[in-house]
Structure 1
Amino acid sequence: MPPLLYPLVYDDIECPCVFELGGRYYLLGSIREDVSVRYWFAPDFFGEYYSFQSDVVLPHGNYAARTVLDGAHLLVYNFFYVQRKNDSLRVLPPPKELEIDQEGQLLLKSYYRWNQMIKKIIPQGYLPDVNHLFSNPSATSVIEPDKWVCGSKGGYEVFYFQKPSACFIWEGLLIVEGMGKLGLVTDIDQNGNGYFISLDVSNGHTEITAWGFNPLDNRQNFIFNNLQAGNFTTNEAKTYRFRLIRYGSYIELSIDGVVKLTLVDYTYTGDVVGLFSASSVLSLQEITFSVLPDPTEEFASREEEQKQSGT
């Protein structure tokens, strides 16, 4: 038979996978150039296949996607390159689900079985005290049982609380009430080392960065690694529902019900989570913190990761 698709611009489309959803056929393919999973669609199996303007279904570092039908849920499994290069350590993260929007575009959704794993749910009014990490004199916070309002006029401030558990689902409604930089933080320590998840609500862009002090190099004594990025749909109200999952070394962020970041990283394991502000004001409402059990087996050990990287 002739090829289903002539991509031409890519070196190769590895691990092709075709499935039917909502009356259309979808072709998943792993792209070596940017280590991502892209997709095409067609009215029938033999094509021809087309692209949407946004064709990345699994972001940078995810590879070799395969689908599995679990009852009414179409799951997608893949492995993840820890160093986001196609010759680095590969680990198996938890699956996601595939759905479609009104236009037929694929949506990456969080695995439904996360909710079945929850051991305890802590509502907003019962979470630990919220503190200021950097003691920025221009930062303010008003913490009420059903609403937190935090902001910093000049420079960064991290507003944090102690994690009730190492593995968790932290979710709620985030409302931006001004300009400036903002986002979430996780696995932060008392020196500000950890993961910073920026949320650009003007351009619909999110990015997770491993950011902290590097004691091994006094000439470049910082770590600043942009690990993964994604785009989301903005709205005039600047109101977004977020869902942050930390499970072992796995990190997943959903915005308005769609997974935008999904990765594995071993850099930080700090004991606090929260949000950051730089010349912005934001509020959090309808917050819950769900306790998850620790993994019985980690996806790959830190020792194995270090062997692969030669450190």
Structure 2
Amino acid sequence: MFTEIDGSRKAIGDVDVVYHEGLYHLFHLVLPNHDFIAHAVSTNGINWRRVNNAVFIGDPGSWDDLMLWTMAVTPDPHEPGRWRMFYTGLSRRDKGRFQRIGLAVSDDLFHWRKAPVHWQDMRGPNDPELVKRARLLCEHHSASRHDAELDEASCFPLEPDGEFYESALDEGRHWVSFRDPYYYRENGEGWLIASGRVNEGPIVRRGCVSVMKETAPNQFEAMPPLHHPGLYDDIEVPNLIRLDGEYYLIGSIREDAKIRYWHTDRIGNPWRSYHDNVLMARGNYAGRVCRDEKGWLFWCFYSMDLNDRTAHNLMPPPKRLTRTRDGMLRVTTFEGFDDWVMREVDTRCVHTLKEGLGQQLCSIDGDRLELQSEAGFQAFVFDEELNCFRFRTTLRLWGKGKCGLVFRVDPSTHDGYYLSLDLLKGVAQLRAWQTGPDGSGEDMMQFRGLQNGYWYTETPGQARVQLLAFGSYLELSIDGRVVLSLADQTFDRGLLGVYLETAHLEVGDLRLNHMRTPHQSDDHLVTG
């Protein structure tokens, strides 16, 4: 995982990842100040090393002198070997209420300089002469990662076109959305999409994916929205990819903090939704895609506090982005975890977590368990306590009882993670359940819902299950699809097992492996 340390008052924000010559390059915001775009590199997508920051806010009077927001890094199609970073900037002139898009360029992904801009410093026309002279002495005449040269022919910073989009502070929310750029190129043509808003209709339903066509190198012309669902306030951090001949538009929705997607067979045709268009469970946000040697990867940041996405964030390991036979997008477990798998645990060594309950059955046959509990809750746990692990099995439920998994459970207090699996409806619910301080009365029982996920199955009562516990990162896959993806630091070690409540369950194809503990802790961002 990749995040800030406690006490730093900083948190990782929106991310963008590029894969080039064996290295993953992570560019990300640092909250809450948004003063710079940070840069880190990795060979495996899990362990990261911070390198020099890429771009900083401009000096006072610049178009981006207040904050930097989401960026997108892409090869420059007009200059082989060069890279372009489109990024969002806010100015003090507008008190941060007007978003614009700028450009920085690099020849190696490590050293960046801002592209020329058409912008005039309007501050202080009545300043004393000594102050004006001081400002002149401070002016920069060359581009850097802080400052841009002035060029009246430049189209940067880009602003929304009032013909199609909200473009003034006296309309809509009095807060202009034009951010989170993403560059898409196909058949020799390029488009820059961004989070924008149409200029008519119910005010909190105007969120759209705006689009500008690149008419010449670094010259862009506004076009009508790529997609306007008519439902959301904003569609944040949009991505556009083509997978197996179908186009997919991925965006993050502020209303429910989920990542959703739409699809079409041709740009210009209507964008369609599936009955299940949620790509990632709640808490995962600002998703970005990148392509490596094996296909598309999906990245995002995760907020451990859903009420405040500016603190306690981390970037979990990526997921592999795939397409089902019927055209739906799915995220699957990153194959890089295979390199962390260690010795296998003997799953024939099983005991009950609780004693003195009613009629129960535990039959062991190689890599298969048959479990039964007629009444009350019972967990059948493996003897060995575990920290990081990968657990794989096929569950088959007879009847309509309850079942699920427990992990990192304390043998004496039974505090730990409880994962409810409704194999009939396709619902997963993860909770942290523990004992509070002695003498804390009714608050001694501490129960937190961490994340819910859903899946559809053509075989109700049966599921292939994979559970990963890797440091604070927790991931559940059902039938190959990632259903839960989150981070939690409540419990770090304990027993793992299967629980039943008035149920009869077959646990087959059992495989349980230790995993190496992550080399880097969750606070690597600063200390690494």
TM-score by length of 2: 0.54
The residue that corresponds to 1:132 in the other structure is: 352
Give aligned pairs, total: 299
Partner SS state of residue 395, structure 2 = strand
- Of 294, 297, 304 in structure 2, the residue corresponding to residue 72 of structure 1 is 294
CA contact (8 A) 1:91 1:300 kept: no
Whole-angstrom CA distance in 2 between matches of 1:115 and 1:192: 30
Whole-angstrom CA distance in 1 between matches of 2:251 and 2:397: 36
CA contact (8 A) 1:65 1:78 kept: yes
The residue that corresponds to 1:144 in the other structure is: 365
Cα 1:238–1:15 change in 2 (3 A) is same
The amino acid across from 1:12 in the alignment is D
Q: Deviations over 1:147-178 (max 9, x none)?
A: 21222211111111244642111101111123
Whole-angstrom CA distance in 1 between matches of 2:499 and 2:229: 41
- The share of aligned pairs that are identical, in percent, is 31
CA contact (8 A) 1:251 1:264 kept: yes
- Of 384, 387, 392 in structure 2, the residue corresponding to residue 171 of structure 1 is 392
The residue that corresponds to 1:267 in the other structure is: 490
CA contact (8 A) 2:347 2:510 kept: no
- Of 182, 189, 197 in structure 1, the residue corresponding to residue 410 of structure 2 is 189
The amino acid across from 1:35 in the alignment is A
Whole-angstrom CA distance in 1 between matches of 2:343 and 2:298: 27
Cα 1:163–1:21 change in 2 (3 A) is farther
5+ unaligned residues in a row in structure 1: which ranges? 302-311
CA contact (8 A) 2:379 2:499 kept: yes
The residue that corresponds to 1:294 in the other structure is: 517
CA contact (8 A) 1:93 1:299 kept: no
Partner SS state of residue 443, structure 2 = coil
- Of 309, 331, 336 in structure 2, the residue corresponding to residue 108 of structure 1 is 331
Q: Deviations over 1:49-89 (max 9, x none)?
A: 22111110011000011111111321101000012333441
Whole-angstrom CA distance in 2 between matches of 1:268 and 1:164: 12
Q: Which moved more, 1:44-53 or 1:239-248?
A: 44-53
Whole-angstrom CA distance in 2 between matches of 1:66 and 1:214: 39
TM-score by length of 1: 0.90
The amino acid across from 2:389 in the alignment is F
Identify which of structures 1 and 2 has the higher relative contact order when contacts are C-alpha pairs closer than 8 Å and 6+ apart.
1
Whole-angstrom CA distance in 2 between matches of 1:275 and 1:136: 18
Q: Does 1:18 align with 2:252?
A: no
CA contact (8 A) 2:347 2:367 kept: no
Whole-angstrom CA distance in 2 between matches of 1:44 and 1:104: 14
Q: Which moved more, 1:135-144 or 1:256-265?
A: 135-144
Extract structure 1 runs of 4+ deviating beyond 6 A.
Answer: none
Partner SS state of residue 357, structure 2 = coil
CA contact (8 A) 1:96 1:109 kept: yes
- Residue 269 of structure 1, CA deviation: 2.1
Partner SS state of residue 171, structure 1 = strand
Q: Does 1:239 align with 2:462?
A: yes
- Residue 116 of structure 1, CA deviation: 2.8
Q: Which moved more, 1:214-223 or 1:188-197?
A: 214-223
Whole-angstrom CA distance in 1 between matches of 2:321 and 2:404: 26
Partner SS state of residue 3, structure 1 = strand
Whole-angstrom CA distance in 2 between matches of 1:74 and 1:96: 9
Cα 1:185–1:114 change in 2 (3 A) is same
The amino acid across from 1:93 in the alignment is P
CA contact (8 A) 2:423 2:462 kept: no
Whole-angstrom CA distance in 2 between matches of 1:24 and 1:248: 36
Whole-angstrom CA distance in 2 between matches of 1:160 and 1:76: 34
Partner SS state of residue 33, structure 1 = coil
5+ unaligned residues in a row in structure 2: which ranges? 1-222
CA contact (8 A) 1:241 1:256 kept: yes
- Residue 237 of structure 1, CA deviation: 6.5
Cα 1:136–1:63 change in 2 (3 A) is farther
The amino acid across from 2:275 in the alignment is Q
Whole-angstrom CA distance in 1 between matches of 2:344 and 2:318: 22
CA contact (8 A) 2:421 2:428 kept: yes
Q: Deviations over 1:92-115 (max 9, x none)?
A: 101001111122110111111122
Partner SS state of residue 220, structure 1 = helix
- Residue 117 of structure 1, CA deviation: 2.6
The residue that corresponds to 2:432 in the other structure is: 210
Which protein has the larger Cα radius of gyration, Structure 1 or Structure 2?
A: 2
Partner SS state of residue 229, structure 2 = coil
Whole-angstrom CA distance in 1 between matches of 2:506 and 2:523: 36
Whole-angstrom CA distance in 2 between matches of 1:177 and 1:67: 40
Whole-angstrom CA distance in 1 between matches of 2:386 and 2:357: 30
- Of 225, 238, 253 in structure 1, the residue corresponding to residue 448 of structure 2 is 225
The residue that corresponds to 1:306 in the other structure is: none
Whole-angstrom CA distance in 1 between matches of 2:280 and 2:457: 20
CA contact (8 A) 1:188 1:269 kept: no
Q: Which moved more, 1:244-253 or 1:229-238?
A: 229-238
The residue that corresponds to 1:156 in the other structure is: 377
Q: Does 1:251 align with 2:474?
A: yes
Partner SS state of residue 279, structure 1 = strand
Q: Which moved more, 1:270-279 or 1:164-173?
A: 164-173
The residue that corresponds to 1:309 in the other structure is: none
CA contact (8 A) 1:92 1:299 kept: no
CA contact (8 A) 1:4 1:47 kept: no
- Residue 233 of structure 1, CA deviation: 2.4
The residue that corresponds to 2:163 in the other structure is: none
Cα 1:72–1:265 change in 2 (3 A) is same
CA contact (8 A) 2:416 2:494 kept: no
